[in-house]
Amino acid sequence: MEPRRRRQRVAKKAYIHRDREAGAQRLHAHYFAENPVYPNNVFRRRFHMRRALFLRIVDVVQSDTYFQQRADALGRPGFTLLQKCTLVVRMLANGGAADQYDEYLRIAESTLLECLRRFC
């Protein structure tokens, strides 16, 4: 007779409401709106490329289903294509810790690292 296996309790992850939508709206208003808050020279300094090149990269990456916006398990909208691409490009251009982007773009370190892995 085999010994009984004990069930191990799985610790639940704490959900942090990051307000993804506000992060996406802020990003769009700052860099991608018709009249963005920051001009082209600021975009180039922060992203280390012109906006037109960044948008071409976004256009290529959008064919990957991972980068397309979709709802999470609870039906909340996920991160936008621009949020994910901005994270990756700024991380590659500027380096720095993954969790430093959480405050501005409202994205967790684990999600950023997955975006970076998929992008590369």
Q: Return phi, psi of residue 116, to 5°.
A: -60, -45
The predicted-structure confidence for 40-96, as pLDDT tens digits, reads as follows: 999 999 999 999 999 999 999 999 999 988 887 878 888 899 999 998 998 888 887
Note whether 54 and 44 are within 8 A (CB). Answer: no
Token look-up 């996920």 returns 78
pTM, entire model: 0.78
SS3 track for the chain? CCCCCCCCCCCCCCCCCCCHHHHHHHHHHHHHCCCCCCCHHHHHHHHCCCHHHHHHHHHHHCCCHHHCCCECCCCCECCCHHHHHHHHHHHHHHCCCHHHHHHHHCCCHHHHHHHHHHHC
Q: What is the pLDDT of residue 11?
A: 67
Neighbours of 82 (CB within 10 A): 20
Every domain of the chain and the residues it spans: 20-119
The predicted-structure confidence for 19-37, as pLDDT tens digits, reads as follows: 788 888 999 999 999 999 9
Residues 6+ apart with CB under 8 A from 5: none
At 87, list the tokens. Answer: 């994270």
